[in-house]
A and B are shown apart, each in its own frame.
Chain A
Amino acid sequence: MKSKSRNFYLIPYVIWIALFVVMPILLVLYYSFFDIDGQLTFDNYKKFFTPVYLKMTFSSFWYAFLITMFTLLVAYPISYLLTKTKHKQLLLLLIILPSWINLLLKAYAFIGIFGTYGAANSFLEVIGIGTKQILFTDFSFIFVSVYIFLPFMILPIFNALDELNPSLVDASNDLGASKWITFKRVIFPLTIDGVKSGCQIVFIPALSLFMLTRLIAGNRVITLGTAIEQHFLVTQDWGMGATIAVFLIIAMVLIMILTGKRKRGIL
């Protein structure tokens, strides 16, 4: 009974996968075995395990982790509070809206705001802290990244919270559970799927972030994405770029398996 419907939905999706996913993967794999002169080689893979690239891999994961964590910490309360407001759908849309403005323009605006003579420093000046270097620091990099990824985290969490049956929360309260216990035992576990998909949508692209590393972090943060960008566009060493991409894809698959559900609710 099930198999019939499964085949039906699979058709368009599998065509898409074959054309636009498998093809690029094969191309990437193919290129990763060629060096810059077009000779067949494993050197790219050997090169990946040199300190330069290992350090880069480590820092990519570290920053992606930080970005995901802070995005979640900021996004969860927003999503929660949004579900309690009167015009929640409208407010949700208003959260997505800023992401439709071009990223480069927003980055330029942030350069202005975080600059030595920018609004952020004027504010610090007024409250007595004094001018600090904000631009080109870890802080500004993570701040702007969280800013960019925020809507991607809020949407799935909001949808999960919105579905939550309020009587469950009421029941928990009536049984004398504190707000924190209710959150920990009832609300959070019931929205864990939303949180998971939010984290995936943030963490995975954050691994290969590249534009902001230059614009906001002044190349003080070097991620795998930056390196791929450079190999593809500057050195035109597609082999090395493709090799890094292979490792990114492997990392992604591992993350999917680790965060995937242990047991399935259906069948």
Chain B
Amino acid sequence: MKQLIRALLAVLIVSFVLIFIVFRLNSSQGYTSGNTLTIFNWGDYIDEELIKQFEDETGIKVIYETFDSNEAMLTKIEQGGTAYDIAVPSEYIIDKMIQEDLLLPIDHSKLPNFQYLDSRFLDLPFDHGNKYSIPYFWGTVGILYNTKILGDRELTSWNDLWDPAFKNQILLVDSAREVLGMSLNSLGYSLNDKNKDHLQEAKEKIDALTPNIKAIVGDENRLLLQNEEAAIGLVWSGTAQEIMWENENVEYVIPKEGSNLWFDNMVIPKTAKNVEAAHQFINFMLDPEVAAQNTDYVGYSTPNKEALKYMDEEVVNDERFYPDEEMTSKLEVYENLGKRMLAHYNDLFLEFKMHTK
């Protein structure tokens, strides 16, 4: 019994000492002061120097929280409980958030730096007139392949993936719209196709890809492709860029049939407490020099036209990550398909995954 009491006391004492230390740390950092801005973003998706710079310039203290998937983030914002001043969801979620009335309209008069954005990435179907969202980063979906393993074989089309030579060489991403989308694209259909026959055809086509598939993975595809665990991967351009920094044998291509164009945009949730600071922060991130620095750090493609001037020419002229007008015209943004259709996509994907086994 003595033993138990001693152990319990030890645990309690240690906990309270730790709580005290955390409290001191928090107050020395100024987190307890009144003027704060709470940001909800993907992990490691901003150059933290910029947060410091913003804090120094405005005197606003930034609280930075992170999420690992759009849907998980949406659930948290829907439920309330925490007041996030800024969140950075992807475009298909923004559509949903607008419909469910979760966002505050953005006051463009407070964003003088809005003018620097490339008009190609504004006024898109998911948010006409950018009433609720401001682009943060954008990118594409494409094929990453390893020239060391595949030799001089060049991939240009989605249909190349079905080549029997690539047995057990392909890593797919664990995401229904990307995988079905690749099949839809290869058949010449739209990424937003709602025709069930077309979808069935697309599903049967990916079933036929089964022998070539090594695994269906998540974010760890970066690790696997970098280490040449598989020769080919279906990836987002951001992931591709990061893999290319670490492994010089890989090549990224946006297939000629077209592909998906995605966005991560800044939004202000309805529950925001410091709307003024949120606008200040968005405007700050749109500053060309700031955007350039952030892009250098994150490595995804920036929608800020003016920022390109402050960046490495080699990066800016890289057509794989900053495709020309003709290529961009073939890219499609995901539309909100509606719950039923999305569920149908996911059911087909689940059936496909069961088929793989």
Contacts and interface: CB of A to CB of B under 8 A. Distances in A.
* A–B contact (CB under 8 angstroms): yes
Interface of A: 36-37, 52, 55-56, 59, 107-108, 111-112, 115-117, 133, 135-136, 214-215, 217-222, 227, 230, 233-237
A36 B340 contact: yes
Nearest to A47: B347
A37 B357 contact: no
Chain B, interface residues (CB within 8 Å), range: 20 to 34
B229 A116 contact: yes
Contacts of A222: 350, 353-354, 357
Given A36-B343, A221-B357, A233 B227 contact: no
B187 interface: no
Contacts of B343: 36, 235, 237
Contact of B220 (A55, A133, A215, A227): A215
Those 10 A-B pairs whose CB atoms lie nearest each other, nearest first: A218-B215, A219-B216, A235-B346, A233-B71, A136-B215, A36-B339, A235-B343, A36-B343, A115-B229, A219-B353
A222 B75 CA distance: 24
B189 to A, nearest CB: 21
Interface string B215-230: 1111010011001110
A168 to B, nearest CB: 27
B83 interface: no
B218 A230 contact: no
A117 B228 contact: yes
Nearest to B218: A214
Interface string B162-176: 000000100100111
Given A219-B216, A219-B353, A37 B224 contact: no
Contact of B342 (A108, A111, A227, A235): A235
Given A111-B224, A235-B346, A218 B217 contact: yes
Nearest to B168: A133
A112 B228 CA distance: 11
Interface of B: 69, 71-72, 74-75, 168, 171, 174-176, 214-218, 220, 223-224, 227-229, 339-340, 342-343, 346, 350-351, 353-354, 356-357
Contact of A111 (B214, B220, B340): B220
A29 to B, nearest CB: 20
Contacts of B71: 233-234, 236
A222 to B, nearest CB: 6
Given A214-B218, A235-B343, A52 B350 contact: yes
A115 B176 contact: no
B72 to A, nearest CB: 6
Which of B168, B176, B339, B356 is most buried by chain A, counting CB atoms within 10 A of its CB?
B339
Contacts of A37: 339-340
B317 to A, nearest CB: 34
Contact of A219 (B217, B227, B339, B346): B217
Contacts of B171: 218
Nearest to A221: B357
A237 B296 CA distance: 38
